Amino acid sequence: MPHPEPVFAPPPEPVPFTFDPRAELPSTAEVVVVGGGMVGASAAYHLARAGMPPLVIEANTPAWGASGRNAGMALAGIGGHFPRVTRLVADAGGRSILDYTARSLDMLEAWDAELSGGIEWDRFGSLDLATDPAEEAHVRRMAELQAAEGLDVRVVNGTELRDLAPGLAADEVRAAKWTPRDAKLNPFRLCYALLETVRQLGGTVVTGVRVDRLLAASGRVAGVATSHGEVSAGAVLLATNAWTPALAPHLAANLTPIRETVCVTEMVPFSVGRPGFETNQCNEYWRQMRSGEVVIGGFAVADEGMGIGSYSIRVRPHVPPLLAALLARMHPALADARIIRCWAGLLDFASLEMPMAGPLPAEDGTPLPGAYVAAGLTGHGHPYAPILGLLTAELISGGEARTLSLAPFDPRRYVGVAHAPTWLEPFQGTATIPH
Ligand SMILES: Cc1cc2nc3c(=O)[nH]c(=O)nc-3n(C[C@H](O)[C@H](O)[C@H](O)COP(=O)(O)OP(=O)(O)OC[C@H]3O[C@@H](n4cnc5c(N)ncnc54)[C@H](O)[C@@H]3O)c2cc1C
Instruction: In whole angstroms, give the CA distance from residue 291 to residue 298.
Output: 22
Instruction: In whole angstroms, give the CA distance from residue 177 to residue 146.
Output: 10
How many whole angstroms from 247 Cα to the centroid of ligand 1? 16
Is beta strand 28-34 parallel, antiparallel or unpaired with respect to 229-238? parallel
pLDDT of amino acid 287: 98
Does 379 contact ligand 1 (Cβ within 6 A)? yes
Instruction: In whole angstroms, give the CA distance from residue 348 to residue 58.
Output: 18
How many whole angstroms from 5 Cα to the centroid of ligand 1? 24
Which of 18, 58, 188 is the best mutation target for the ligand 1 pocket, counting ligand atoms within 8 Å of the beta carbon and taking the most? Answer: 58
Determine the straight-line distance between the first and last CA of the chain, rounded to whole angstroms: 40
How many whole angstroms from 239 Cα to the centroid of ligand 1? 9
Nearest to residue 75, comparing CAs of 336, 293, 316, 381? 381
pLDDT of amino acid 433: 74
Does 275 contact ligand 1 (Cβ within 6 A)? no
Nearest CA to ligand 1 atom 27: 241
How many whole angstroms from 349 Cα to the centroid of ligand 1? 11
pLDDT of amino acid 434: 65
How many CB atoms lie under 10 A from the CB of residue 114? 12
Nearest to residue 334, comparing CAs of 262, 279, 276, 272? 272
> Closest ligand 1 atom to the C-alpha of 40?
25
Which of 107, 226, 241 is the best mutation target for the ligand 1 pocket, counting ligand atoms within 8 Å of the beta carbon and taking the most? Answer: 241
Instruction: In whole angstroms, give the CA distance from residue 387 to residue 71.
Output: 20
How many whole angstroms from 435 Cα to the centroid of ligand 1? 32
> Closest ligand 1 atom to the C-alpha of 345?
53
Nearest CA to ligand 1 atom 5: 70
pLDDT of amino acid 5: 86
Instruction: In whole angstroms, give the CA distance from residue 140 to residue 132.
Output: 12
For residue 337, what is the DSSP state? P
Backbone angles phi and psi of 91, in degrees to 5:
-60, -30
Does 307 contact ligand 1 (Cβ within 6 A)? no
How many whole angstroms from 62 Cα to the centroid of ligand 1? 10
pLDDT of amino acid 9: 93
Nearest to residue 343, comparing CAs of 312, 388, 310, 373? 312
pLDDT of amino acid 430: 85
pLDDT of amino acid 435: 59
Instruction: In whole angstroms, give the CA distance from residue 84 to residue 92.
Output: 13
pLDDT of amino acid 4: 81
167 close to 107: Cβ distance less than 8 angstroms: no
Residue 257 neighbours by CB under 8 Å, 6+ apart: 10, 242, 309, 310, 311, 346, 347, 348, 349
Backbone angles phi and psi of 165, in degrees to 5:
-145, 80
How many whole angstroms from 368 Cα to the centroid of ligand 1? 25
Does 243 contact ligand 1 (Cβ within 6 A)? yes
Instruction: In whole angstroms, give the CA distance from residue 43 to residue 385.
Output: 8
pLDDT by residue, tens only, the chain of 435 residues: 567 888 999 999 999 999 999 999 999 999 999 999 999 999 999 999 999 999 999 999 999 999 999 999 999 999 999 999 999 999 999 999 999 999 999 999 999 999 999 999 999 999 999 999 999 999 999 999 999 999 999 999 999 999 999 999 999 999 999 999 999 999 999 999 999 999 999 999 999 999 999 999 999 999 999 999 999 999 999 999 999 999 999 999 999 999 999 999 999 999 999 999 999 999 999 999 999 999 999 999 999 999 999 999 999 999 999 999 999 999 999 999 999 999 999 999 999 999 999 999 999 999 999 999 999 999 999 999 999 999 999 999 999 999 999 999 999 999 999 999 999 998 888 877 765
Give how far Cα 66 sits from Cα of 217, 240, 308, 310, 381, Å: 33, 10, 15, 14, 9
Does 40 contact ligand 1 (Cβ within 6 A)? yes
